[in-house]
Amino acid sequence: MTAAYVALEGGHVLEGRGRASGTARGELVFTTAYTGYEESLTDPSYEEQILTFSYPLIGNYGVREERFESDRIHPRAVLAKELTDDVTEWLESEDVPAVDHLDTREVVTDIRDGGAMKCGIAVGDDVTEEDALEQLEQCKAMSDHTDIGAQVSVDETVVHGEDNDGDTVALVDCGAKGSIIDSLVERNATVHVLPHDATEADIEAVDPDILFISNGPGDPANYEEAIDIVDAFVEETPVAGICLGQQIVAEALGGTTEKMTFGHRGVNQPVMDLESGRVVMTTQNHGYTVAEPGDYLEVTQINVNDDTPEGLDGVEHDIITRQYHPEANPGPQDTLDFFDDVLAMADPQNQRAVPADD
Q: What is the pLDDT of residues 255-278, one digit of tens each?
A: 999 999 999 999 999 999 999 999
Q: Pinpoint the alpha helices (H) of 94-158.
A: 104-114, 129-137, 148-152
DSSP symbol at 278: -
Q: Which residues are catalytic?
A: 243, 325, 327
3-state helix, strand, coil in the chain (%, to 5): 25, 35, 40
Residue 351 has pLDDT above 80, yes or no: no
| pLDDT, tens only, 177-234 | 999 999 999 999 999 999 999 999 999 999 999 999 999 999 999 999 999 999 999 9
Using alpha carbons, list the distances in angstroms from residue 85 to 59, 100, 146, 327.
8, 11, 35, 29
Q: DSSP string of 287-356?
A: EEEEEE--SSEEEEEEETTT--EEEEEESSS-EEEESSBTT-SSS--TTTTHHHHHHHTT-TT-----PP
- Cis amide prior to 326 (ω within 30 degrees): no
Q: Tell me which residue of 225, 239, 201 sits closest to 149, measured CA to CA.
A: 225
Using alpha carbons, list the distances in angstroms from residue 7 to 3, 91, 136.
13, 20, 6
Helix (H) or strand (E) holding 206: helix 200-206
Task: Give the list of residues 6+ apart from residue 306 with CB closer than 8 angstroms, or none.
Answer: none
**C-alpha–C-alpha distance, residues 167 and 160, integer Å:** 12
Domains, in order of start, for the chain: 3-140 (3.50.30.20), 148-344 (3.40.50.880)
User: Could you tell me which residues are beta bridge partners of residue 298?
Assistant: 313
Binding residue numbers: 45, 216, 218, 244, 247, 285, 287-288
**C-alpha–C-alpha distance, residues 37 and 58, integer Å:** 7
Binding residue numbers for L-glutamine: 45, 216, 218, 244, 247, 285, 287-288
**C-alpha–C-alpha distance, residues 294 and 315, integer Å:** 10
| pLDDT, tens only, 58-103 | 999 999 999 999 999 999 999 999 999 999 999 999 999 999 999 9
> What confidence tier does 348 reach under pLDDT thresholds 50, 70, 90?
low
DSSP symbol at 185: H
